[in-house]
Structure 1
Amino acid sequence: MASATRTRTHTAAALLLYALTFRLLTRASSTAVTVSPPPAAAAAAEAHALLRWKSTLPRSSFTSDPLSSWSPATPACTTWAGVACGEDGRVAEVALPGAGIAGTLAALDLAALPALAGLNLSGNRLAGAIPASVSGLASLVSLDLSGNALTGGIPGAALAALPALRVLVLRNNSLGGAIPASLGGLRTLERLDLQATGLVSTLPPEMGGMASLSFLDLSRNNLSGGLPPSFAGMSKMKELYLSRNRLSGTIPPEIFKSWPDLTLLYLHYNSFTGTIPAEIGEAKKLRRLSLLSNNLTGVIPKEISGLPSLQMLHLGKNCLTGPIAPSLGNLTQLVILVLSFNNLTGMVPAEIGSLTALQELDLISNQLEGELPPTVSLLKVLSYLSLASNNFVGTVPNFASQQLVYAELNGNKFSGGFPLSFCQSTSLEILDLSGNQLSGQLPSCIWDLQDLMFMDLSNNALSGDVLASANSNLSLESLHLANNRFTGGFPSIIQYLKMLSVLDLGGNNFSGAIPSWIGSRLPLLRFLRLRSNMFNGSIPLQLLQLSHLQLLDLASNNFEGHIPCGLTNLTSMIRPQTEFNMRSTVHHQILYLEADFYYANRVDVNWKMQTYEFQGAIALMTGLDLSGNSINGEIPTELTNLQGLRFLNLSRNHLSGTIPANIGDLKLLESLDLSWNELSGHIPSGFSALVSLSSLNLSNNMLSGEIPTGNQLDILTDPSIYSNNFGLCGFAMSISCSTGSSIQPLDPNKEFEGVYVYYSIIAGVVFGMWLWFGSLVFFAPWRISFFYYVDFTQRKLMR
């Protein structure tokens, strides 16, 4: 399955609220303390402190010279970029986010800025520690140093000395260390963001004393231990992010009783255990709940159905059991429902159709069964559907959503014809119906889906010709039709799929020749798998125009003729592939979240005499398989220029001549099979240069001479590798070669005398059996005597 990876972003409304709040707080700070206008010396001291800090910053870091306006000749309050003053004329705010500033804060004399209420240096390249002198900023309301390279830990004592602090944002730094327990003394703090700061500690129980805190983000750290029950003291909590840590233990039920304003709870990618507390039903304002990838057990509490504002319920990758409760249909505001990778059983309730706002439904990898209810047709805004790897049966119901982008129903037992409703899903980009029991003909309307990028219909019982369409898809990148019952010639519709990079037609009943247009119409093709069909004719030269081709599998067909010249045109086979992954990506927005749904390509590869499914890392695979055909002639020497090959299989053909002497140039080759051909001569000494080789088969040829040794050949000592080559000798064959003399190749006639003897014996046995059966058929007395003897023996045994 292609799991969906989402990047959390705050809503525009939340950001706007934060900005307005910050401005109000800054203004309040600058006007709350009544002081007499500062003397000129005080204003000069503030300007001098900022200029002195500027002088320590490397000028090369200024992308657009943001501090060029900072000059002793101009007033700081009115002309300096990023500097704002209060009504009393004192510096109240320094805001230079994303200004490209490097250097440190060590030279910034914060004591000279006593009226500073806001300091925002986020998104720069500042390094070093947060200075302890920050404790002197008694008027500081908001401190944002996020997105830098700060180190040295969080100065807890200094920050705890800030009585007016309401916003503290240090995210995306390399601070490290522990969360200071002294932060619990910040009674006025409303927003604390320490995401991705390298924290390594437990959660201090003292943090429960932050009674004004409504936003807490500690995600993407290395925090461990449990979630302290004392956190229930954060009675104004609205949004809590603790995801991607190593937290464990149970989820304290007290928090749901004490946080009546909770709207968002993200605890995903931790190690929480136990059950989901039933008290969660008391968080009536909860809108988003993510418990993904923990070790939670038990059933989904029915109390969740009583959360009227819930928009996202993400419980995937746990150990939850039991059925999907029909009462979940009460969550009429639900937009995202993810219950994947659990042990849920039973049927999908018909009440699922009540979730008319649902955009994402993910039930992959459970033990759900039965037919899908027809009410799913009511989910008219559904964009992401994943029901894969369950035990669903019956026909695929009508998914009427025009917004459907991703449909993954593979690995079930769906039957009937291809669901025509998918032809109406004009936004569809990824469709996977593989591994079901679908039958009948593939409708031509599927090619009308202009946005479709990935389609996998393999391992079904679809049949007939693959029909063309008047329209041509311009987006399809991967097409998998393997292991069905398709017939006819090479599908003509494929010539219009110009973006195609993966084509798998293996395991069908296609016949005829490969069309000549394949080289010009599919310029981006990387993986071509046509094995186990009835294609015939010669291998077309036009295949060599596919310069991106890195895997060509034509095995088990009826191809004949020579291996074509010009293999060096397959430039992607000449060099090793370095791209690790190859996947289709769907960019989508659900619930104000930017979501990227990834679907990794998978291709079956006959690798080292086994069939493996390569997924994800398939982009690293480079290979050539022409086995099981009637190809003749010699192995082209230029084949050894394909130095990116990881496997080469030319077995079960009629190849003759010698093995190319420079076979050792294929340094990356891990699997080589040249068995069941008519190759002769010595095994080249270059075999010892195949340092990656782990699978080798040279059996059933006419090879002779001494088997070379060295590197991998010293490990590949199974005699079957070289069997039925009657002129071979050496360590692997336990046949010593004559010392001091070279072994001459055996005469082919003498070499196969043993084989002729075996054939003669087999022919004699077959002739004798036919003679015996013929006597029974044509001579009635013998036939009667034989059956009399059989009856007599049967009666004797039954006694």
Structure 2
Amino acid sequence: MKPIPLLPSMTNRNIRFCILYIAVFAVVLLLLSFVSPAGSCSEQDSRSLLQFLAGLSQDGGLTTSWRPDVDCCTAWEGVSCGRDGMVTKVSLPSRGLHGCISPLSVANLTSLTHLNLSDNALSGSLPPELMSSLSLLVIDVSFNHLDGVLLLPWPMNTGLKLPLQVLNISSNRFAGEFPSNLSWNAIANLVMLNASNNSFTGEMPIAPLCNGSPSSSLAVLDLSDNRFNGEVSPEIASCSMLKVLNVAHNKLTGILPIKLFDVTSLEHLSFADNDLQGEIDGAHITKLTNLVTPDLGENSFHGEISESIGQLKKLEELRLDNNYMSGDLPSSLGNCTCLTTIDLKINKFSGDLGKVDFTSLHNLKILDVMRNIFSGVIPESIYSCKNLTALRISSNHMHGKIPVWLAKLKKLKVLDLSNNQLTSPMPSWINSLSNLFYLDVSNNSLTGNIPVTLMAMPMLESDNYEAHLTRLFDLPVYRISALRQYLALTSFPALLNISTNKFTGVIPQDIGQLSALSQLDFSRNKLHGEIPPAICNLTKLQVLDLSSNYLTGPIPEALNKLNFLSEFNISNNDLEGPIPTGGQMSTFSSSSFVGNPKLCGSILANCNSVKAAPTVLTTSGKQCSSEVISVIAFGVFFGVGVLYDQLVLSNYLDM
């Protein structure tokens, strides 16, 4: 099963590629900064800008400064000019602009080099006149509501090359096929094209973009989050200067062309979430000696990871998740000393994870091998990864104890060892992991009492633990009951899950100290005693599961005050007394309480104590009614009898 992204266009896989975009923008802005102080605004440029303003239905307050009676070069917000008084830059990102871009307004700014209208609510089409500008170097209209078919320039002089270097039309509503029959020669100077997060269809526009020319200057190409289909064209090799290629989240099929690996300048490569297949040939991929982040996850690749991967010395992120890859991990992976992320989850990798020597991977921050077939013990060499932030080895066949050396991973924030065959008690040193806020050891064979130190986890005691979290990373979280995914570290739940183990004893009273917890699961263990009232102090709880234990006593009334609680289960225990009413407890179905024969409440149809009272009352009522009827009947008959006797006696005396 593939994880469903919450916001595909905003995942960290795309964020990684934005870094290079920023670098490109920075270079362009640096060039533009070497202009002399502006002169007075030209009358033509002033009229063009006012025409642009008139086309907006909401101007974000621009009319305050955009006035005809003041100089547009010195007083108009977002406008910069050259020494000759000609407008060179219009930068109005995130201003709440609504309306259309007037075709002849901005296009008439003949010295304009930089146009930034990103992150607004502009609609309509992108005027092709902008693309035909003989001065524009940068056009950024990303994150708007622009739609329709994209029209690219077709100059009268087909030999003309426009100066445009950066075109960012991402996160709009463009649809239809990408233009392929227009003059791409005209934009041969293009360095970056970002058309991600639209609704483009058809085949990838590789051939027209690079025009079959090895001299193409295109360095960044992002076509992710669209509807492109078909196979990847071998003509991709014509983009010989390409450093970033992102075609994730499309509908591409077939195999990766061998020619792709001739683009040795590639640093960031993503074909994630398509339907590509075949093997990843180690002999070919090692030609990409500059490769930093290969992302081939969520496809149908099979085969093994070649030992030759150790030759990719610049590798920082290896993402092959959600495929059908198998075999042992190559020991040469330990040679990729720059690695920060290894994401191999949901494959068929097997063997001993310890074949990889993690000692040299000092930069590793994320290790995710969830849902594979790894066996053996958790490799001790991982303790050398002092920067490790997230470790997930869940749903494998690992055995043995929770290694003592885990205590050395002081930066660890997420630890998921669930669904393995781990044994022994929970270690008392667990609270020494001062940054840990997500702990899942469910579905193992852990024993003993819940250690008191688990109730003193520094990050889970923090009133505002999210303030301590700074790094974003893509580490989806899966639950058995439902598929959930958290794409950012700050959106991970503060979680403590020790369910489906062999823990005994009582729930410590100090549980109330973990005020940051949003999910608490102690279900399917052998816990006894009462539900500690202190658990009601966990006011941020959204999930509370204490089911299938041996808990006794009443349900604390104060649980009604946990207003954020959306999932609650205390079924299959030995609890007793009435179910609290009039609060949060009333929002849950009977399945949250069943299996506690001594519990009473209207929500439980089979609650004997509730049924008993009406039965007694009904019987008593029937008895009372019978007695009343008998008395009345007796009185009536008695009265009739007396009356009859009186009548008979009266007649007799009258005679």
TM interval, shorter chain, is: 0.7 to 0.9
Matched ranges for 1:665-744 at <5 A: 666-679=585-598, 683-684=601-602, 687=603, 697-699=604-606, 701-705=608-612
Deviation at 1:13, TM superposition (A): 5.6
Matched ranges for 1:394-793 at <5 A: 394-396=351-353, 397-399=356-358, 400-467=360-427, 472-491=432-451, 494=454, 497-500=457-460, 527-548=495-516, 552-564=520-532, 566=533, 570-573=536-539, 621-629=542-550, 631=552, 633-635=553-555, 637-642=557-562, 644-656=564-576, 658-660=577-579, 662=581, 666-679=585-598, 683-684=601-602, 687=603, 697-699=604-606, 701-705=608-612
**Map of 1:581 onto structure 2:** none
Q: Secondary structure at the match of 2:422?
A: strand
Deviation at 1:547, TM superposition (A): 4.6
Rounded Cα–Cα distance in structure 2 between residues aligned with 1:470 and 1:644: 28
Contact 1:641 1:665 in 2 (8 A): yes
Q: Secondary structure at the match of 1:426?
A: coil
**Map of 2:474 onto structure 1:** none
Q: Deviations over 1:358-378 (max 9, x none)?
A: 101111101111112221111
Rounded Cα–Cα distance in structure 2 between residues aligned with 1:642 and 1:163: 62
Q: Secondary structure at the match of 1:431?
A: strand
Q: Secondary structure at the match of 1:199?
A: strand
- Higher RCO (CA < 8 A, seq sep 6+): 2
Contact 1:377 1:401 in 2 (8 A): yes
Q: Establish whether residue 222 from structure 1 lines up as the match of residue 176 from structure 2.
A: no
Question: Structure 1's 15 and 224: CA in aligned 2 closer, same or farther, altered over 3 A?
Answer: closer
Rounded Cα–Cα distance in structure 1 between residues aligned with 2:341 and 2:166: 30
Deviation at 1:334, TM superposition (A): 0.8
**Map of 2:294 onto structure 1:** 337
Question: Structure 1's 445 and 742: CA in aligned 2 closer, same or farther, altered over 3 A?
Answer: farther
Rounded Cα–Cα distance in structure 2 between residues aligned with 1:272 and 1:12: 25
Q: Deviations over 1:122-150 (max 9, x none)?
A: 399xxxxxxxxx9xx99444333334233
Letter of the 2:115 partner, please give it.
L
Letter of the 1:243 partner, please give it.
S
Letter of the 1:666 partner, please give it.
M
**Map of 1:4 onto structure 2:** 12
Letter of the 1:174 partner, please give it.
A
Q: Secondary structure at the match of 1:499?
A: helix
Q: Secondary structure at the match of 2:251?
A: coil
Question: Structure 1's 648 and 166: CA in aligned 2 closer, same or farther, altered over 3 A?
Answer: closer
Contact 1:478 1:501 in 2 (8 A): no
Question: Structure 1's 545 and 362: CA in aligned 2 closer, same or farther, altered over 3 A?
Answer: closer
Rounded Cα–Cα distance in structure 1 between residues aligned with 2:103 and 2:175: 19
Deviation at 1:651, TM superposition (A): 4.1
Question: Structure 1's 358 and 232: CA in aligned 2 closer, same or farther, altered over 3 A?
Answer: same
**Map of 2:137 onto structure 1:** 190
Deviation at 1:240, TM superposition (A): 0.8
Q: Establish whether residue 346 from structure 1 lines up as the match of residue 303 from structure 2.
A: yes
Q: Secondary structure at the match of 1:316?
A: coil
Letter of the 1:254 partner, please give it.
P
Q: Establish whether residue 212 from structure 1 lines up as the match of residue 169 from structure 2.
A: no
Deviation at 1:170, TM superposition (A): 2.5
Rounded Cα–Cα distance in structure 2 between residues aligned with 1:24 and 1:529: 58
Aligned equivalent of 1:305, options 261, 270, 286: 261
TM-score by length of 1: 0.62
Letter of the 1:455 partner, please give it.
L
Deviation at 1:459, TM superposition (A): 0.8
Q: Secondary structure at the match of 2:264?
A: coil
Rounded Cα–Cα distance in structure 1 between residues aligned with 2:193 and 2:623: 79
Question: Structure 1's 159 and 670: CA in aligned 2 closer, same or farther, altered over 3 A?
Answer: same
**Map of 1:232 onto structure 2:** 184
Aligned equivalent of 2:202, options 249, 273, 296: 249
Contact 1:183 1:207 in 2 (8 A): no
Question: Structure 1's 299 and 483: CA in aligned 2 closer, same or farther, altered over 3 A?
Answer: same
Q: Deviations over 1:52-83 (max 9, x none)?
A: x9xxxxxxxxxxxxxxxxxxxxxxxxxxxxxx
Question: Structure 1's 653 and 239: CA in aligned 2 closer, same or farther, altered over 3 A?
Answer: closer
**Map of 2:330 onto structure 1:** 373
Aligned-residue Cα RMSD (Å) equals 4.2
Rounded Cα–Cα distance in structure 1 between residues aligned with 2:19 and 2:75: 23
Letter of the 1:161 partner, please give it.
N
Rounded Cα–Cα distance in structure 2 between residues aligned with 1:16 and 1:652: 61
**Map of 1:145 onto structure 2:** 92
Rounded Cα–Cα distance in structure 2 between residues aligned with 1:6 and 1:742: 78
Any stretches of 5+ residues in structure 2 without a counterpart? 6-10, 51-59, 463-476, 481-492, 625-655
The number of aligned residues is: 561
Q: Secondary structure at the match of 2:230?
A: coil
Deviation at 1:494, TM superposition (A): 3.8
Contact 1:643 1:668 in 2 (8 A): no
Deviation at 1:624, TM superposition (A): 5.0
Deviation at 1:281, TM superposition (A): 0.6
Question: Structure 1's 559 and 123: CA in aligned 2 closer, same or farther, altered over 3 A?
Answer: farther
Rounded Cα–Cα distance in structure 1 between residues aligned with 2:259 and 2:572: 64
Rounded Cα–Cα distance in structure 1 between residues aligned with 2:579 and 2:228: 60
Letter of the 1:232 partner, please give it.
W
**Map of 2:220 onto structure 1:** 264
Contact 1:653 1:676 in 2 (8 A): yes
Contact 2:42 2:85 in 1 (8 A): no
**Map of 1:360 onto structure 2:** 317
Contact 2:373 2:396 in 1 (8 A): yes
Rounded Cα–Cα distance in structure 1 between residues aligned with 2:512 and 2:294: 48
Contact 2:124 2:146 in 1 (8 A): yes
Q: Percent of pairs identical after alignment?
A: 26
Deviation at 1:628, TM superposition (A): 3.5
Rounded Cα–Cα distance in structure 1 between residues aligned with 2:99 and 2:191: 30
Rounded Cα–Cα distance in structure 2 between residues aligned with 1:329 and 1:45: 56
Letter of the 2:369 partner, please give it.
L
Question: Structure 1's 642 and 705: CA in aligned 2 closer, same or farther, altered over 3 A?
Answer: farther
Rounded Cα–Cα distance in structure 2 between residues aligned with 1:635 and 1:170: 57
Question: Structure 1's 409 and 120: CA in aligned 2 closer, same or farther, altered over 3 A?
Answer: farther
Question: Structure 1's 425 and 471: CA in aligned 2 closer, same or farther, altered over 3 A?
Answer: farther
Question: Structure 1's 287 and 545: CA in aligned 2 closer, same or farther, altered over 3 A?
Answer: closer
Q: Secondary structure at the match of 1:704?
A: helix
Question: Structure 1's 662 and 250: CA in aligned 2 closer, same or farther, altered over 3 A?
Answer: closer
Q: Deviations over 1:161-203 (max 9, x none)?
A: 3444333332233332111233343234332222223211211
Question: Structure 1's 630 and 670: CA in aligned 2 closer, same or farther, altered over 3 A?
Answer: closer
Deviation at 1:154, TM superposition (A): 1.4
Contact 1:430 1:454 in 2 (8 A): yes
Deviation at 1:213, TM superposition (A): 1.7
Question: Structure 1's 538 and 156: CA in aligned 2 closer, same or farther, altered over 3 A?
Answer: closer
Deviation at 1:660, TM superposition (A): 4.7
Contact 1:410 1:434 in 2 (8 A): yes
Aligned equivalent of 1:22, options 32, 35, 44: 32
Rounded Cα–Cα distance in structure 1 between residues aligned with 2:592 and 2:395: 30
Letter of the 1:330 partner, please give it.
K
Deviation at 1:381, TM superposition (A): 0.5
Letter of the 1:213 partner, please give it.
L
Contact 1:119 1:142 in 2 (8 A): no
Rounded Cα–Cα distance in structure 2 between residues aligned with 1:377 and 1:247: 40
Rounded Cα–Cα distance in structure 2 between residues aligned with 1:408 and 1:191: 39
Letter of the 2:68 partner, please give it.
L
Question: Structure 1's 676 and 377: CA in aligned 2 closer, same or farther, altered over 3 A?
Answer: closer
**Map of 2:628 onto structure 1:** none
